[in-house]
Amino acid sequence: MLDIRQLRENPEGIQARLQTRGGESWRLVDEVLACDERRRAGETEKQTLQGERNRLSKDIGAMKKEGKDSSELEATVRGIGERIKTIGEEADAAEAGQSQTLLQIPNLPHPGCPVGSDETANPIVRDWGQKPEFTFAPRDHVEIGTRLGLFDFEAGTKISSGGFVVFTGVGAKLERALIQFLLDLHTEFHGYDEVAPPHIINRDCMFGTGQLPKFEDDMYGLEENAFFLAPTAEVPVTNLYREMILKESDLPVKVAAYTPCFRREAGSAGRESRGLIRMHQFDKVELVNIVHPDHSFAQLETLTAEAEAVLQRLGLHYRTIELCTGDLGFSSSKTYDIEVWAPGHGAYLEVSSCSNFVDYQARRMRLRFKDADGNNRFCHTLNGSGTALPRLYVSLLETYQQEDGTVRVPEALVPYLKRDVIG
């Protein structure tokens, strides 16, 4: 969440930055400050009344020692006590309102973010490799995979519903090979520690990383939404450090995790969803960084390069774009999306989103570090997909397809799949 001190000191500036996101979230700043003013005024009055009550209580004690009637003062003290209780309840309500409203305000875009209303304003930062050329009309992954028996959408629907798939035979082995390849790359070459977190997560964790309250309808809730299926490993991995105070020497923390991810994809009607492109359950390797505030934007560049390395090792053409203010995720201050080329679709598909949340998540989960002067400061958190598998799988099949219907296996995957051709 945002720092309430920022809102007090520069409300107009905060509102102006929020307005670049679009929507009405900037209006919530006034609501937060109104609650804050009521709370602070209540606390001030409460302290004044407590002082008055203490003074009168001493007077009552003195009067009783002298044998004087103190009933009138005692009635006054009781009235003050009732007023203190009322003020306390009002201040608590104002504080709760302030906290709830703060949770609904997204992060501030980095001042250098391109300003725009939607994805059409996202500039291309760089690209890598070339689009593959074919001597035949390239097929899409659904046709390729169906012919080779790599996956079965009907079986996924039979077992669960639409938006689920069963990987079969070599298709299942390819999925497993990709997961192992990604984990090995990031742990052996990029310095990540691997964890295997739970896939069922409580509400506190969802609030900590910013999935709640905004995205509740997009997640699978369990037991009256007391728990949720993990929408991304970002949630459990970042929350491993919730309410911790790290040593400055511990930073940066770099953790990688594989999990299946579960999303309802609410509001995605009309978007590309053929085959594996938009699933309710999909595999992903996530990269989480916890860093010193002075280094977080430099670390974002490193994190993005680590995600790009996946596609470079697999020989897949991609481009990296920077998200404009209107396309930023709720908790992000700055984000790069990496889009891989899928020749069968004739389109770029997002396979990774790398974001710097600055101290937005850390404030929610009270994640701090002790600096050299002994002060507790909020960490900065980052995360990136390293990468999501379904669209990586799509690009692999479509990029390395051959005219006879087989698929070449990129060299980096051969040791994992133990074959150089599928089919």
What is residue 281's three-state secondary structure? strand
For the segment 300-319, what is each residue's pLDDT rounded down to a tens digit? Answer: 999 999 999 999 999 999 99
User: What is the reported pLDDT for 223?
Assistant: 79
For the segment 80-91, what is each residue's pLDDT rounded down to a tens digit? Answer: 999 999 999 999
Lowest mean pLDDT among 12-26, 193-207, 219-233: 219-233
Tracing tokens 């201040």 back to the chain, one arrives at 91
Is residue 266 pLDDT above 80, yes or no?
no
Q: Which residues contact residue 269 at a Cβ distance below 8 angstroms, ignoring those fewer than 6 apart?
A: none
User: What is the reported pLDDT for 269?
Assistant: 52
Rounded CA separation 40/369 (Å): 28
Beta bridge mates, 128: 318
Rounded CA separation 65/51 (Å): 22
Nearest C-alpha neighbor of 391 from the set 269, 240, 283, 292: 283
Question: Taking residues 325-330, what's their average pLDDT?
Answer: 98
User: What is the reported pLDDT for 265?
Assistant: 78
Triad 222, 224, 228: Cα angle to 5°: 30
Per-residue confidence at 225, pLDDT binned at 50, 70, 90? confident
Rounded CA separation 22/91 (Å): 32
Percent of the chain with pLDDT over 70: 98
Q: Domains of the chain (ranges plus CATH)?
A: 4-103 (1.10.287.40), 119-422 (3.30.930.10)
Check the CA dihedral 215-296-128-170 and report its sign. negative
Is residue 233 pLDDT above 80, yes or no?
yes
User: What is the reported pLDDT for 46?
Assistant: 93
Spatial contact of 97 and 35, defined as CB atoms under 8 Å apart: yes
Lowest mean pLDDT among 52-61, 171-180, 258-267, 360-369: 258-267
For the segment 110-146, what is each residue's pLDDT rounded down to a tens digit? Answer: 999 999 999 999 999 999 999 999 999 999 999 999 9
Percent of the chain with pLDDT over 90: 94
For the segment 281-291, what is each residue's pLDDT rounded down to a tens digit? Answer: 999 999 999 99
Is residue 270 pLDDT above 80, yes or no?
no
Rounded CA separation 11/351 (Å): 37
User: What is the reported pLDDT for 141?
Assistant: 98
Give me the helices (H) in 189-295, please: 203-209, 234-239
Cα end-to-end span (Å), the chain? 51
For the segment 349-361, what is each residue's pLDDT rounded down to a tens digit? Answer: 999 999 999 999 9
> Could you give the dihedral angle defined by the CA atoms of residues 268, 127, 176 and 286, in that order, rounded to the nearest 10 degrees?
-70
For the segment 3-62, what is each residue's pLDDT rounded down to a tens digit? Answer: 999 999 999 999 999 999 999 999 999 999 999 999 999 999 999 999 999 999 999 999
Question: Taking residues 252-259, what's their average pLDDT?
Answer: 99
Number of H helices and E strands in the chain, helices first, is 13, 18
Is residue 337 pLDDT above 70, yes or no?
yes
Per-residue confidence at 274, pLDDT binned at 50, 70, 90? confident
Which sequence positions are flagged as catalytic? 263, 278, 350, 353, 391
Give me the helices (H) in 10-151, please: 11-19, 28-65, 71-103, 141-148
- Mean pLDDT of all residues in the chain? 96
- The strand pair at 347-356 and 318-322 is best described as unpaired
For the segment 371-421, what is each residue's pLDDT rounded down to a tens digit? Answer: 999 999 999 999 999 999 999 999 999 999 999 999 999 999 999 999 999
